[in-house]
Every structure is written in structure tokens, then in C-alpha cells.
């Protein structure tokens, strides 16, 4: 996102410009996310709605509770906790039990944000910290997928949604098969990795591809990103660097062995790369501030994502790639400081 | 025997020091290696706590008895030999009592030798106090250590396996939190307990009395 809210301009008065506040930026990010969330509910029905509401409510409650415990003023008004909750919900599978989603929300705000001192001080993207926590705690539930557009998605919930707290969710393989005919229960990335099956690109555009709640809506994510970039609430270079580097690496691999490696478009559209590149890698507190650093950071995320997908044990690597990118931000910022005009090289 | 510049403690305060005010884990954050490594279950944690307490009390007693005859220059080496003696005893004892526990605790029993709480107590307390005082202070420290280990082990076992002391608490459908029995779980739970302790300490009206005591700095 933009480096500073204020610009130094040398001209006659008035000198003071209206600064763009944190609240306003965050509110617009929420607005840009709403279509993605709405489409997710349209795809997966009541369960997705309950999931998104749960993560958002838990994040807001955790933020409020921690502020009260620490004796600080409420920071709910800056919308950042709402974004964390909404993003977290969008990265979870639609069948994710609500009590686990609440654990993820608590971990996101508690571990990912409050521990570092609240908004602006967090090293890692809070939503991804929450997701990483539940990925480590509940590895089975977070890789249990359900088909989109099942006929009865607005009549009832997915059986796992209301699993009693602390209990194992029921097996829904049979339910998913009956809900949508021919459902395989694997994401396009898993199918590519284990069956070398290339899911056609239109599945990602239409939302038919099996994925987390908000991952298979490339067009809406891009539109939200374009809107934010146009309003200068988001640094366009980060998503371009992430997607560009991922596509470049994928293209090189495909050139090497077209039968084994998918085309760049598949790599960009599948999994959470689009959502991560547009809405998570661009988190202002956890991305570099220098112009050169932004490109390095974005490229690092894109390359690490493809490396994890191609050579790692996991089928999807966006989450860890962004967290690794976040961890490198202070280093990147330090080594890409622009030269101060007039200063000589090698002298402080 | 009072140390110059330090407030004289009553017998109870001397004992309670390690349990609460100078708790080795929650206040001084010492002995992190066994704390994080063996607290995957309540039994392991408690066994490690009891073993460490035994070594603490015995070594404190012996160090205190020998405090006038040990030359200052070789005191650390002497303490280590004393501590290692008792660790060897504990090592064989645990192996004789329960082989399963012995295997679960692994190298961490032998590593009690380098537990900084024990050497720290010997250097900072036992070598400067008469035997009864040294032993009761060491016992308090040991209890504080064991209680803290148990607090970690219990949470990690309840969430990580749905059990406490091996007894299932939630029935067969319990969903284990895999992360809790992995190393990150140890850090998370320790952090949560430290948070709770610090919060309680800063809230209590006697917060002034909770400031770290000078002259007890050891790692």
C-alpha cells in the first residue's frame, strides 16, 4: 500500500492536505472484500455464512476483550479486526467446524496481533497466523473439502459445521458425494499433484473448483484489488510481483516438462494465491515500505509459493510463503533503503 | 543468617519464595529446556518436577553443610559434582521405578545437572544460609517448579490428547489439538501462563512487593 499518508509539497497555501485515515482505508478494504464474501456464501450456502460470521465475531470479541484486559481504548472502530476475521473465514474450508473457526479467530488476534502490540505492530498477517495455528492443530479438518453449488446449500448446513466444541467433526465423504455427483474431495492443486489432472481455468472463474470459502472467485478478488489499487489503498506492485513471479517460475517449469507441470494460468488461479496476493501480502503493517523492497518481497512470496506447491509435502503453499515473506520484511527494508539525494555511497 | 543489604525473611517467606514470588518458571523464567521439552503430559511434567525437587533439596542441603570448607575458587565445580551425584541417584531411581517414564523423559533426567535453577540456588542461596533454611527454600523452589511444570503439562495433555494423567476426559470423539504436543504448543502454553501470571501480578494491590529482588540474578 502507499508508503505515507502525507506528501510533502512545496507550493503556496493551503499546505495541509486531508490525510487518508487508517479507518477509511480499512473500511474500503472491507467493502472490497464483501463481494468475495457474498459470492462465497452463494457458492457454499448457509455454512459459509455461519463460518464468516463466526470468524469475524470472534476476532472482534477477541480484540475488544484484549483491549479491555490491557486497559486500552477500544480499537474496533478501525475495522482492522473485522478484516482479519473476514479474511480468515475466506481462507478456511467451508465445512470447517465453527468451534475450530473460533479458535482460529482467537489465535489470529491474540497470537498474531495483540501479542505484538496491536494494529501496525504485528510482524505477521494476523489472519494467516490464525490459519497457521489451526492448520497445525487440526490438520484433517482444514483439508476436508466440500463441493460448491450443492442443491440444498440454502436449506441446511454442512454436517460438520455444528460439531460440538472440542469434538471431532463427522466424516462427510458420503454426504459430499450425495450433494454433488462426481465430487472427488480434492482441490485442483491436490489433483494436479497426485493425479496430474489439470483443472480447466473456467472452473476457477465460475467458482466450481474445490477450494477454501473465498479462494475460487478470481474475478471478484481481482475487481476488489483493482478498486483498492485505483483508490491508492493498496500497493499494486505487490500483487503484480507475487503473481508475476509465480507465473514466470511456472512458465519455466512448464517449458521444461509440459506433461508434468501446469501452465502459469493454473498456478495463478488455483488455491489461495489470488486472495493472498491481493488481500494478504498487501497488508500495510507486514509489507516493505521501500519501492525496491516491495518488488523483492512480492517476488519472494510468488517463488516460495510455487516451490512449496511443486516440491513440498503440502499441496498449497501461499500461507507459509506470505508468512515467510512477512518475516523477511525488516531485512528487505534495511537493505533496500533508497539513497538520500546528495549522500555519497558508503557513507552514512 | 542475613545477607547484608537484603531484607530478612521469615521461615514461611523463605519457603514460599520459590512457590510464588520467585517462581522459577513463571517469574524468573529459568530452566526452559525441561519446561518446554517434557511437558507434553501431566505425568511427565510431574515426574520431572519431583525429580528436580529431590536434586534441588539434597544438593542445597549438602552445599549448605559444606559452605565453610569449600574454597571460593572451586565452588562451582564442587556444586556441579554434588548436583551430578544426586542426578545419578535420581536417574537410577526413575529407571528402577518406571521404565516407561524413564524412556519418556529420556536425556532430560541427566540434563537436570545443567538445570540453572539448581546451580543458581546453590550459588545464590544455599552457600550463604544454614542447612535448614537452604533446604526449605530449595523445597519451595522445587514445589514452584513442579507446580509450573504440571500447569503446562496438564494444559498440553488436555488439549493435545483430551486426557489428564492418561484418563480420557471428553470421550472417544475428542478432537486432539496436534499442535499442543508439538514444540510450538509448549511455547504457546508457556506464553499464556506467563501472560496470566504477569496480568495477575500487575493487578494485585501488592504489586510493589512483586518487583524482582536484587541479588538473585542468575541464569
For B196, nearest residue in chain A (alpha carbons): A69
Give the other-Cβ count within 10 Å of B108's Cβ.
17
Of B212 and B169, more confident: B169
Cβ proximity of A281 and A301 under 8 Å: yes
Of B46 and A315, more confident: B46
Q: Residue B128: is its pLDDT beyond 60?
A: yes
**pLDDT tens, A219-231?**
899 999 999 999 8
Contact check, Cβ <8 Å, B178/A167: no
Q: Which residue in the set B173, B179, B188 is minimally distant from A168, CB to CB?
A: B173
B191 contacts in chain A (CB < 8 Å): 115
Q: pLDDT exceeding 70 applies to what percent of chain A?
A: 93
Q: Which residue in the set A69, A100, A138 is minimally distant from B199, CB to CB?
A: A69
Where do the structural domains in chain B lie, given as residue ranges? Answer: 11-147
Give bridge partners of residue B164 from the DSSP assignment: B167
Q: Is B10 helix (H, G, I), strand (E, B) or coil?
A: coil
Weakest-pLDDT range from A85-94, B67-76, B185-194, B200-209: B200-209
For A107, nearest residue in chain B (alpha carbons): B188
Residue B164 DSSP one-character state: E
Contact check, Cβ <8 Å, B182/A139: no
Q: Which long-range CB contacts under 8 A does A185-191 form with residues at least 24 apart?
A: A185/A144, A185/A145, A185/A210, A186/A145, A186/A210, A187/A145, A187/A211, A187/A270, A187/A271, A187/A315, A187/A316, A188/A266, A188/A270, A188/A271, A189/A270, A189/A271, A189/A309, A189/A315, A189/A316, A190/A315
Distance CA B181, CA B153 (A): 10
Of A341 and B53, more confident: B53
Predicted confidence at residue A201, as pLDDT, reads 80
Grid cell, residue B28, equals 524468573
A:B CB pairs within 8 Å: 32
**pLDDT tens, A209-218?**
888 888 878 8
Q: What is the pTM of this model?
A: 0.85
B178 contacts in chain A (CB < 8 Å): 136-139
Confidence of residue B210 (pLDDT cuts 50, 70, 90): very low
Q: Say what the ipTM of the complex is.
A: 0.78
* Mean local confidence (pLDDT), A277-294: 91
Predicted confidence at residue A197, as pLDDT, reads 83
Q: Residue A276: is its pLDDT beyond 70?
A: yes
Grid cell, residue A160, equals 460438520
Scanning A50-79 for CB atoms below 8 A from B yields 69
Cβ proximity of B18 and B137 under 8 Å: yes
* Mean local confidence (pLDDT), A280-287: 90
Amino acid at each position: 500500500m502507499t508508503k505515507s499518508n502525507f506528501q510533502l509539497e512545496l507550493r503556496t497555501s493551503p499546505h495541509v492536505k486531508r490525510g487518508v485515515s487508517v479507518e477509511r482505508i480499512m473500511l474500503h478494504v472491507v467493502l472490497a472484500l464483501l463481494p468475495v464474501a457474498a459470492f462465497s456464501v452463494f457458492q457454499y450456502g448457509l455454512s459459509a455464512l455461519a463460518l464468516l460470521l463466526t470468524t469475524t465475531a470472534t476476532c472482534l470479541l477477541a480484540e475488544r476483550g484484549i483491549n479491555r484486559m490491557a486497559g486500552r481504548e477500544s480499537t474496533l472502530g478501525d475495522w482492522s479486526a473485522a478484516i482479519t476475521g473476514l479474511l480468515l473465514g475466506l481462507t478456511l474450508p467451508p465445512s470447517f467446524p465453527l468451534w475450530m473457526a473460533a479458535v482460529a479467530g482467537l489465535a489470529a488476534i491474540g497470537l498474531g496481533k495483540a501479542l505484538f502490540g496491536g494494529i501496525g505492530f504485528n510482524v505477521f498477517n494476523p489472519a494467516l497466523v490464525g490459519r497457521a495455528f489451526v492448520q497445525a492443530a487440526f490438520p484433517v479438518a482444514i483439508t476436508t473439502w466440500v463441493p460448491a453449488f450443492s442443491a440444498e446449500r440454502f436449506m441446511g448446513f454442512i454436517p460438520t459445521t455444528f460439531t460440538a466444541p472440542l469434538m471431532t467433526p463427522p466424516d462427510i465423504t458420503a454426504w459430499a458425494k450425495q450433494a454433488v455427483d462426481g465430487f472427488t474431495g480434492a482441490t485442483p492443486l491436490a489433483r494436479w499433484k497426485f493425479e496430474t489432472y489439470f483443472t480447466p481455468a473456467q472452473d476457477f472463474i465460475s467458482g466450481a473448483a474445490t477450494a477454501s470459502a473465498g479462494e475460487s472467485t478470481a474475478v471478484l478478488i481481482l475487481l476488489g484489488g483493482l478498486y483498492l489499487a485505483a483508490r491508492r489503498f493498496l500497493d499494486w506492485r505487490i500483487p503484480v510481483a507475487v503473481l508475476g513471479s509465480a507465473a514466470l517460475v511456472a512458465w519455466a517449469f512448464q517449458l521444461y516438462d509440459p506433461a508434468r507441470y501446469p501452465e502459469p494460468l493454473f498456478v495463478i488461479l488455483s488455491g489461495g494465491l489470488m486472495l493472498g496476493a491481493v488481500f494478504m501480502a498487501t497488508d500495510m503493517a507486514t509489507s516493505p515500505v521501500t519501492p525496491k523492497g516491495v518488488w523483492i518481497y512480492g517476488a519472494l512470496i510468488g517463488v516460495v509459493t510455487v516451490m512449496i506447491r511443486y516440491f513440498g509435502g503440502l499441496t498449497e503453499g501461499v500461507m507459509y510463503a506470505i508468512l515467510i515473506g512477512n518475516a523477511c520484511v525488516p531485512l528487505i527494508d534495511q537493505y533496500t533503503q533508497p539513497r538520500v539525494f546528495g549522500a555519497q555511497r558508503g557513507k552514512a | 543468617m542475613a545477607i547484608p543489604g537484603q531484607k530478612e525473611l521469615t521461615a514461611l517467606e523463605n519457603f514460599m519464595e520459590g512457590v510464588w514470588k520467585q517462581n522459577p518458571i513463571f517469574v524468573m523464567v529459568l530452566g526452559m529446556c525441561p519446561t518446554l521439552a517434557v511437558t507434553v503430559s501431566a505425568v511427565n511434567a510431574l515426574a520431572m518436577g519431583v525429580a528436580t525437587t529431590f536434586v534441588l533439596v539434597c544438593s542445597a542441603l549438602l552445599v549448605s553443610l559444606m559452605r565453610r570448607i569449600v574454597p571460593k575458587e572451586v565452588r562451582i565445580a564442587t556444586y556441579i559434582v554434588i548436583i551430578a551425584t544426586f542426578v545419578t541417584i535420581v536417574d537410577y531411581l526413575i529407571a528402577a521405578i518406571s521404565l516407561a517414564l524413564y524412556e519418556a523423559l529420556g536425556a532430560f533426567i541427566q540434563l537436570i545437572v545443567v538445570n540453572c535453577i539448581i546451580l543458581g540456588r546453590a550459588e545464590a542461596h544455599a552457600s550463604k544460609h544454614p542447612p535448614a533454611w537452604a533446604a526449605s527454600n530449595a523445597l519451595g523452589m522445587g514445589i514452584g517448579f513442579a507446580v509450573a511444570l504440571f500447569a503446562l503439562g496438564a494444559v498440553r495433555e488436555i488439549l493435545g490428547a483430551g486426557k489428564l494423567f492418561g484418563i480420557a476426559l471428553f470421550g472417544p470423539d475428542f478432537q486432539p489439538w496436534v499442535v499442543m504436543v508439538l514444540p510450538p504448543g509448549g511455547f504457546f502454553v508457556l506464553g499464556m501462563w506467563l501472560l496470566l501470571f504477569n496480568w495477575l501480578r500487575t493487578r494485585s494491590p501488592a504489586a510493589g512487593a512483586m518487583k524482582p529482588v536484587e541479588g538473585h540474578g542468575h541464569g
